[in-house]
C-alpha cells in the first residue's frame, strides 16, 4: 500500500484528495496535517466524509511515515515549507500550488497528456493550475504540430470553488449567485505556465489573450479558445483525436460539449471545429478534479507505476 500524507488539509483541494484517496484501492492515508484544525476530526471540516473516515488533523507532517505527500497549501507556502523541513530520501512529492510549476528545484510539470513519461520517472511533480490545465489541453495538439500561427483568444469561466475555501467579497453566495464578472483580464497568473509550456512545444511563445470570468456555480471550468488556422474541420478533429488517442481522461467529442459532462470527474471533454478559417476549441473540466486533486492522483498513479485511472473512475453529474 502507498502511504500518502496531505499537508494543508482543510481546504477544498485537500477535501477532494481525501475523498479520492479513501476510496483508492492502493492507498492508505498516513496523515492529514492542518495547522488551523489540528486535533479536530477531519469530518468536522470535510462533512461529506462522515462515515468514511475517523482521521483527525495532525499539527505536524509525519514525513518519515509517508511514501508520497501532497502539498495543498496556498501559493508560496510550498517553497517555504521545504525551507523549514527536511525531505526524506525517496519521498515523492506532488505540489498543488504554483511554486514549482517553472520546473525549478527538480520538479516536473505534471500535465500527464504532455509529460507522462517524465512524470513516471520523477520524484517531484508540480501540479498544473486549473485554468492552465483546460487551456493547455485545448492547445497542446496544435502547439506540438507547430500550427499556432496567430494570436490565441481565450474566454474561460470558472466556478466559485476556484477561489478557495476562505470567503471573500466575490465568493459570497449573495454576490456570486445570478451574477457574472470578469477578473484579471490579460494578466491571470496561469498565463505564465501556459506560455512557457506552449512555447517549448511550438518553438516560439504564442500570444494568448485570456479573459477569465467568475461563474455563478460551484464547480467546473469551460474554456472557449479560438485562433486562425489553415486546417479544415476534418483535419483539426483528426489532429486532436490522434493526439489524445492514448489519454484516458481527455475525450474529443464529435458534438458540442458542456460543463456537466466533466463536473465530478477527472475528464477533460473537448470539441474542435473550424469556422471561416478559425479553429474553435471548447474544453470542459472540473476545476477541483482534473484541475487540481484528480490530476494530482493521476500523477501519483504514474509515479508509482499504477494505471492512470486507478481510483479515478468517477461518475459525472449529468443532471
- Each residue's pLDDT tens digit, 148-194: 999 999 999 999 887 676 677 777 787 888 999 999 999 999 999 99
Q: Is the pLDDT at 124 greater than 90, yes or no?
A: yes
CB 130 within 8 A of CB 221: yes
Mean pLDDT within 116-145: 98
Report yes or no on 310 lying in a domain: no
Q: What is the dihedral angle through the alpha carbons of 273, 279, 284, 285, rounded to the nearest 10 degrees?
A: 130
Is residue 130 classed as helix, strand or coil in its secondary structure? helix
Distance CA 61, CA 84 (A): 12
Residue 112: in which H helix or E strand, if any? helix 112-120
Report yes or no on 169 lying in a domain: yes
Question: Do 160 and 115 reside in the same domain of the chain?
Answer: no
Distance CA 9, CA 55 (A): 11
Question: Do 116 and 168 reside in the same domain of the chain?
Answer: no
Distance of CA 315 to the CA centre of its chain: 18
Question: Do 98 and 6 reside in the same domain of the chain?
Answer: yes
pTM of the model: 0.96
Distance CA 60, CA 82 (A): 13
Residue-level pLDDT at 296: 98
Report yes or no on 319 lying in a domain: no
Q: Which of 62, 101, 99 is nearest to 79 (CA)?
A: 99
Q: How many residues does the structure list for the chain?
A: 319
Annotation marks residue 72 as catalytic = no
| Segments forming the whole domain that contains residue 78 | 2-127+292-303
Residues sharing a CB contact under 8 Å with residue 278, sequence separation 6 or more, in sequence order: 226, 227, 228, 229
Question: Do 111 and 206 reside in the same domain of the chain?
Answer: no
Residue-level pLDDT at 242: 98
CB 138 within 8 A of CB 290: no
221-228/124-126 β-pairing: unpaired
Q: pLDDT band at residue 241, thresholds of 50, 70 and 90? A: very high
- Give the distance between the most distant pair of CA atoms in the chain: 60
Question: Do 135 and 246 reside in the same domain of the chain?
Answer: yes
Mean pLDDT within 61-85: 95
Question: Do 41 and 73 reside in the same domain of the chain?
Answer: yes
Residue of 58 and 160 predicted with greater confidence: 58
Catalytic pick among 56, 72, 130, 268? 130
Report yes or no on 102 lying in a domain: yes
Domain harbouring 299, CATH code: 3.40.50.720
Question: Do 137 and 120 reside in the same domain of the chain?
Answer: no
Q: Which of 113, 103, 92, 148 is nearest to 303 (CA)?
A: 92
Report yes or no on 313 lying in a domain: no
Q: Which of 318, 214, 218 is nearest to 258 (CA)?
A: 318
Residue-level pLDDT at 168: 75
- Cell numbers for 280, please give them: 474553435
Report yes or no on 317 lying in a domain: no
CB 281 within 8 A of CB 138: yes
Mean pLDDT within 70-82: 94
Question: Do 140 and 116 reside in the same domain of the chain?
Answer: no
Specify the residue for cell string 466559485. Answer: 160
68-71/108-109 β-pairing: unpaired
Residues of the chain with pLDDT > 90: what percent? 91
Tell me how many domains the chain contains.
2
268-275/278-285 β-pairing: antiparallel
Q: Is the pLDDT at 315 greater than 90, yes or no?
A: no
Question: Do 117 and 92 reside in the same domain of the chain?
Answer: yes
Domain harbouring 218, CATH code: 3.30.360.10
124-126/92-95 β-pairing: parallel
Amino acid at each position: 500500500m502507498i502511504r500518502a500524507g496531505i499537508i494543508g488539509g482543510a481546504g477544498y483541494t485537500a477535501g477532494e484528495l481525501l475523498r479520492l484517496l479513501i476510496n483508492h484501492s492502493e492507498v492508505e492515508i498516513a496523515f492529514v496535517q492542518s495547522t488551523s484544525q489540528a486535533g479536530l476530526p477531519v469530518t468536522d471540516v470535510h462533512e461529506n466524509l462522515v462515515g468514511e473516515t475517523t482521521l483527525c488533523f495532525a499539527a505536524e507532517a509525519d514525513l518519515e511515515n509517508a511514501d508520497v505527500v501532497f502539498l495543498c497549501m496556498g501559493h508560496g507556502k510550498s517553497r517555504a515549507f521545504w525551507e523549514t523541513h527536511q525531505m526524506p530520501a525517496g519521498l515523492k512529492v506532488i505540489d498543488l500550488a504554483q511554486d514549482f510549476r517553472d520546473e525549478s528545484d527538480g520538479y516536473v510539470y505534471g500535465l500527464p497528456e504532455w509529460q507522462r513519461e517524465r512524470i513516471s520517472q520523477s520524484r517531484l511533480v508540480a501540479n498544473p493550475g486549473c485554468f492552465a490545465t483546460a487551456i493547455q489541453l485545448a492547445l497542446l495538439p496544435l502547439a506540438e504540430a507547430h500550427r499556432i500561427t496567430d494570436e490565441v483568444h481565450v474566454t474561460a469561466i470558472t466556478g466559485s470553488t476556484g477561489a478557495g475555501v476562505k470567503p471573500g467579497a466575490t465568493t459570497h453566495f449573495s454576490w456570486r449567485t445570478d451574477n457574472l464578472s470578469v477578473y484579471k483580464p490579460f494578466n491571470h497568473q496561469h498565463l505564465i505556465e501556459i506560455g512557457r509550456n506552449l512555447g517549448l512545444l511550438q518553438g516560439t511563445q504564442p500570444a494568448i489573450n485570456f479573459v477569465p470570468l467568475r461563474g455563478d456555480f460551484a464547480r467546473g471550468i469551460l474554456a472557449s479558445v479560438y485562433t486562425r488556422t489553415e486546417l479544415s474541420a476534418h483535419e483539426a478533429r483528426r489532429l486532436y483525436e490522434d493526439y489524445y488517442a492514448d489519454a484516458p481522461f481527455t475525450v474529443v467529442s464529435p458534438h458540442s460539449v458542456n460543463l456537466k459532462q466533466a463536473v465530478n470527474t477527472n475528464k477533460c471533454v473537448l470539441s474542435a471545429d473550424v469556422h471561416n478559417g478559425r479553429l474553435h476549441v471548447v474544453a470542459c473540466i472540473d476545476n477541483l478534479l482534473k484541475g487540481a486533486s484528480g490530476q494530482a492522483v493521476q500523477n501519483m498513479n504514474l509515479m508509482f507505476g499504477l494505471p492512470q485511472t486507478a481510483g479515478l473512475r468517477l461518475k459525472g453529474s449529468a443532471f
